[in-house]
Amino acid sequence: MLRSGRRARRRRRRVDERATRFIDPGTLINQRPAEATDRQIAGHGEGDLIVGQGNRSAIGTLVDRTTRYVKLLHLPDGRGVEHVRDALLHAFAELPAELARSLTWDQGSERGRHDEFTRATDIPIYFCEPASPWQRGSSEKTNGLLRQYFPKGTDLSIYSAEDLAYVAAELNDRPRKILGWRTPAELFTKLVATLE
The structural domains of the chain, ordered by start, are: 20-195 (3.30.420.10)
Distances from the Cα of 12 to the Cαs of 9, 20, 107, 141, in angstroms?
9, 14, 19, 32
Of 4-13, 24-33, 131-140, 154-163, give the range with the top mean pLDDT.
Answer: 154-163
Rounded Cα–Cα distance for residues 35 and 55 (Å): 35
pTM of the entire predicted model: 0.84
pLDDT at position 3: 59
The pLDDT tens digits for 147-173 are 999 999 999 999 999 999 999 999 999
pLDDT at residue 1 tops 70: no
> Higher-confidence residue: 14 or 144?
144
Per the DSSP assignment, residues forming a β-bridge with 45 are 64, 103
Phi, psi (deg, nearest 5) at residue 176: -120, 135
